[in-house]
Amino acid sequence: MNKMTKQQEIEYAQTLGLTSQQAVDAVGNRYDLILIASQRCRELSRGDLPRVASKHGHVLTTLKEIEHSKVGREYLLKSSESAPRRRKFSTI
C-alpha cells in the first residue's frame, strides 16, 4: 500500500470537502452553474490566469472561483470577444 505524507493527507482531506453545493448557492441553480463553470474551465485550459490560488485542476479551481465570488452570473452575459488575461510563455 502506498503511504501518503502528512502534507498529502491534508491536501486529500481538503479535496474531499470540496463540493459544488456552495457554488450552486452562489450562482442560484445547477443549470447556470454548469454553463458558467464550463465557460470558465475552457478559459483556464486555454491559459487564462486563475483568480484564486489553487493546486487543483481547472474544474475545482473554477468551483473555488465561483464560491469566492470571483466568477458569477455575469459570465452568462460575457462576450467571448473580450481580451482574456493570459499567461506569458517564454520561447526558447
Query: Is 2 contained in some domain?
Result: no
- Return the CA Rg of the chain: 15
User: Is position 49 within any domain?
Assistant: yes
Within-domain flag for 7? no
pLDDT category of residue 22 using cuts at 50, 70 and 90: confident
pLDDT the model gives residue 55: 83
pLDDT band at 71 (very low <50, low <70, confident <90, very high): very high
pTM beyond 0.75: no
- Residue 44 inside a domain? The answer is yes
Residue 59 CB-half CA count within 13 A = 5
Q: Could you give the CA distance from residue 43 to residue 61 in angstroms, rounded to a whole number?
A: 12
| Domain count across the chain | 1
Distances (CA, A) of 46 to 27, 52, 64, 72, 86: 24, 17, 18, 19, 8
CATH of the domain at 24: 3.90.940.10
Is 47 a domain residue? yes
The tens digit of pLDDT for each residue in 31-55 reads: 999 999 999 999 999 999 999 998 8
Has residue 57 been placed in a domain? yes
- Per the structure, the complete domain to which residue 56 belongs is given by 19-76
**Residue at 12 is within a domain:** no
